[in-house]
Structure 1
């Protein structure tokens, strides 16, 4: 449900962060790694979202009697949030570019470490719609949770990072000694040269079928 419009600076911040920047990020994907002028995309999205009258409304600046147009406030918050939330890289002069895939995966992975435990738990594999493939290998994150809720675990990771695309949990496996199983999967894929070449990440160019085969091979037997 859209955030109800109101002519305040706090509204602009919330709308920019939770509605406009994600929409702008989707549009900007078409540029790939090419630089783009952020304000041009912003103007387009603002024109599609608000009337000219709404954008012309003047709001008092914080700690000042100066009045400022809503359009100008949006013009400040959109690039500010896009850069500080690591949605885009600021190249200067109003030019921005998309964060590379490896950098995005590294950020998502930076908060993905779960408690090391030999208890039972769930191994999960997730990815994002824009990089998922029906045939062939694509980047997949393999992680673990001991809470029993893989969907919540993945959502938690993405809320702490710059993810503006909802992740997809591709498959889960309930196992004993979950931390050991996760380590074995990572080590096997790494040995096969499937680990993505980006510092600090634990993402792999693989398939669900390959992960499934490894899980079946290393999964501890019940009672062991």
Structure 2
């Protein structure tokens, strides 16, 4: 341990077990679809927070510093400003990560559970040499609990909820623009996982296409042609400031998305190979963060149908 870490160890604030238990109960009561995993002891919480302080130049470390201040809405606003992100979903996802890491308050959503499980594993691996056996067991047991929340029944229930929630976006889905959709398997199991998830997001297969009108009808047509074994998940709509749009306009915007995705090395296997004629050229290995950045650069309206940020 460095001199700075030794100094920090002497100044750590140790919370009592009673305080930790009260905070866990508060979080599981106030947060939707949360459950209690293994609880940290005061000593384990000190270890976890010491590791988070060492990540001060990374998103998770910044979130730890910001989310300890002010009321919760102000925390999220400050975090969005600190990270330079317009989307609140990133801030909420980081908050969920911290609550799982620090207090063992776990998400019940299969997709978010998979996302948090991967990041707990990355965190444990990164600090493997500095964590005590007790802290490693705390993280490992919560990883296992998150795995148990990803049953087939739970996934089917989540897919049904997502389909129902989609109806709230009926007007936007009838518009024209660029869309991004994928399948739940690719959300829960990224095809290009990041080795440093604290710095770079995971990437997975996402279909990026366009429609001059009635985006949902176009997505359903494309999804039905693939005969996929599970329902498609619409992630984003990127709409032009004016509606209706023309075929030429949306094709031009789609072309810019594809060019930037190719330039960033996010081309899918079919698109990057000589087998383009077999189809699949609109599938990219990318992240919502990257797609949203393109949309912001092109001054498009971002409609987030899926706000889990698990992609």
Q: Give the TM-score category using the shorter length.
A: 0.3 to 0.5
| TM-score (structure 2 length as normaliser) | 0.30
Q: Which has the higher helix share?
A: 2
